[in-house]
């Protein structure tokens, strides 16, 4: 009977964990939406900024593939970001048609500011956690992130 009760408890705890992860994601999204409004950015624009910030200058085609949208759609997003001073297009290499999206100084400062603000939010949210709680939470989050990466890799391979 003990194993049966543990299984029910594990299922209940896992269900609670999933609910907590979804709730945490929602809270971060609400916070990020407020920041986006303050910056005059769209979610798609933020994704392009984030992607270029983390991967370096990218071709429009690469941005389009990463967003899962058509090249004309990503062109409109980049046009808007460029108009507002977040990115610039630069021709690189021998192909004159090939241009890369680069962050401008404003784009880099905006990403740095948003990342700092998010760190501050998480710092405030976790300030009351004790050392062993932080260690266990880090271990659990590492495992969840690894699981997410594995799932993403499977999705990319079409499995």
Summarize pLDDT for 24-46 with one digit per residue, the tens: 888 888 888 888 888 888 888 98
Domain boundaries, the chain: 1-39, 41-126, 129-159
For the chain, the average pLDDT equals 86
Query: What pairs with residue 87 in β-bridges?
Result: 103
pLDDT above 70: percentage of residues in the chain? 89
d(CA 102, CA 98): 13
- Overall pTM surpassing 0.85 (yes/no): no
Selection from 19, 48, 45, 27 nearest residue 121 by Cα: 27
Topology of 41-126 in CATH? Arc Repressor Mutant, subunit A (1.10.10)
Task: Report pLDDT for 62.
Answer: 87
Task: Report pLDDT for 96.
Answer: 63
Handedness of CA 41, 88, 116, 56 (dihedral sign): positive
Which segments of the chain does DSSP mark as H helices, in order? 2-39, 43-55, 60-67, 71-83, 105-126, 131-156
Q: Is the confidence at residue 105, as pLDDT, over 90?
A: yes
């Amino acid at each position: 009977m003990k194993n049966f009760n543990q299984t029910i408890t594990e299922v209940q705890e896992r269900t609670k964990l999933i609910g907590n992860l979804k709730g945490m994601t929602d809270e971060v999204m609400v916070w990020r939406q407020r920041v986006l409004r303050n910056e005059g950015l769209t979610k798609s624009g933020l994704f392009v900024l984030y992607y270029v910030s983390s991967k370096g200058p990218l071709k429009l085609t690469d941005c389009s593939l990463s967003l899962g949208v058509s090249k004309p759609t990503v062109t409109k997003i980049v046009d808007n970001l460029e108009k507002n001073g977040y990115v610039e297009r630069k021709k690189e290499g021998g192909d004159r048609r090939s241009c890369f999206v680069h962050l401008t100084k404003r784009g880099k400062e905006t990403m740095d500011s948003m990342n700092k603000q998010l760190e501050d939010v998480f710092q405030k949210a976790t300030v009351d956690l004790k050392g062993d709680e932080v260690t266990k939470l880090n271990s659990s989050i590492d495992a969840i992130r690894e699981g997410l990466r594995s799932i993403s890799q499977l999705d990319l391979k079409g499995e």
